Amino acid sequence: MTSGLIELAGIERVFRLGDSEVHALRRLDLQIASGEYVSVMGPSGSGKSTLLNLLGLLDRPDAGTYRLAGRDVTTLSADEQARLRSERIGFVFQSFHLVPRLTAAENIALPMVLAGIAPSRRAERIASALRDYGLENRADHRPDQLSGGQRQRVAIARATIMQPAVILADEPTGNLDRATGEEVVRLLETLNERGVTLIVVTHDAGLGARAQRQLLMEDGLLQHDRRHGSETPGPCVAPT
């Protein structure tokens, strides 16, 4: 097996709710190669959001190792993880998560501002991002002056502005109507065609089916790992 961009080995994540323990992820092994388009599906509580948070370094596993681009990131300090998020990972959220007081351009610039990139270099990249996502005449609008589709385009522009290797999208079309959702998915797929690894968590079977590789999760386990419709058993389908 060639080493991929993302390698999870024996990942466990346990939440304690009162006295009971909830196993969000059970001994999960997963490899994702650079440039893959992966959808993660499954019912509520199957652990797909937990998986996404772990992949995005927002959460730490209780056991197992996570290697990102060949480097073990499970043991990194919070600040080192923050730097990796800044440089390698872009997030797209269901509810957009735009900062309401900032304009579209400022929201797009936010990751660069946090990374301490010089204003002159920022301006150039913001201008081209606004052009790429058709937001040129919306640059100075605040989120409440934008439509849902425009908001998600701003969010995608923000997620890609640092040119990350991976984009993690959590229900990117969940708050959008069908036509706008379609448009947003096409944007994400274009990014994937340019070589960005795209991981989409969704309830929507139609959206999930568009990915080259589809993961189905249930009770913290990978139930299926399909590629291009041809079913191959997941690497960790352990009978329970």
Question: Binding to another protein by residue 165, rule CB under 8 A?
Answer: no
Question: Binding to another protein by residue 175, rule CB under 8 A?
Answer: no
Q: Burial letters for 148-171: b for 16+ Cβ neighbours within 10 Å, e otherwise?
A: ebbbbbbbbbbbbbbebbbbbbbb
Q: How many residues bind another protein (CB under 8 A)?
A: 30
User: Tokens 């991981």 label which residue?
Assistant: 199
The CB-of-158 to another protein minimum distance in angstroms stands at 7
- For another protein, the binding residue among 93, 141, 182, 183 (CB under 8 A) is 93
Question: Binding to another protein by residue 229, rule CB under 8 A?
Answer: no
Under 8 Å between Cβ of 158 and 107: yes
Question: Binding to another protein by residue 209, rule CB under 8 A?
Answer: no
The CB-of-238 to another protein minimum distance in angstroms stands at 26
Our measurement of the distance from residue 41's CA atom to the centroid of its chain's CA atoms, rounded to an integer in Å, reads 13
User: Is 63 strand, coil or helix?
Assistant: strand
- For another protein, the binding residue among 91, 143, 207, 211 (CB under 8 A) is 91
- Looking at beta carbons only, is 33 or 115 nearer to another protein? 115
The helix (run of H) or strand (run of E) holding residue 30 is: strand 20-32
- For another protein, the binding residue among 17, 71, 75, 79 (CB under 8 A) is 79
Q: How many C-beta neighbours within 10 Å does residue 46 have?
A: 21
Question: Binding to another protein by residue 186, rule CB under 8 A?
Answer: no
Sign of CA dihedral 205, 207, 212, 216: negative
Candidates 58, 74, 59; CA nearest to 8 is 74
The CB-of-106 to another protein minimum distance in angstroms stands at 8
The CB-of-97 to another protein minimum distance in angstroms stands at 5
List binders of another protein among 100-119 (CB under 8 A).
Answer: 100-102, 110-111, 113-116, 118-119
Q: Phi/psi zone of residue 42: left (φ > 0), alpha (ψ -120 to 50 degrees), beta?
A: left
Task: From 20-28, 51-59, 203-211, 218-226, give the range in contact with another protein by CB under 8 A.
Answer: 51-59
Question: Binding to another protein by residue 121, rule CB under 8 A?
Answer: no
Question: Binding to another protein by residue 139, rule CB under 8 A?
Answer: no
Cα–Cα distance, 176 to 233 (Å, whole number): 33
First-residue to last-residue Cα distance in the chain: 26
Q: Which residues bind another protein (CB under 8 A)?
A: 53, 56, 58-59, 78-79, 82-87, 91, 93, 95, 97, 99-102, 110-111, 113-116, 118-119, 158, 162
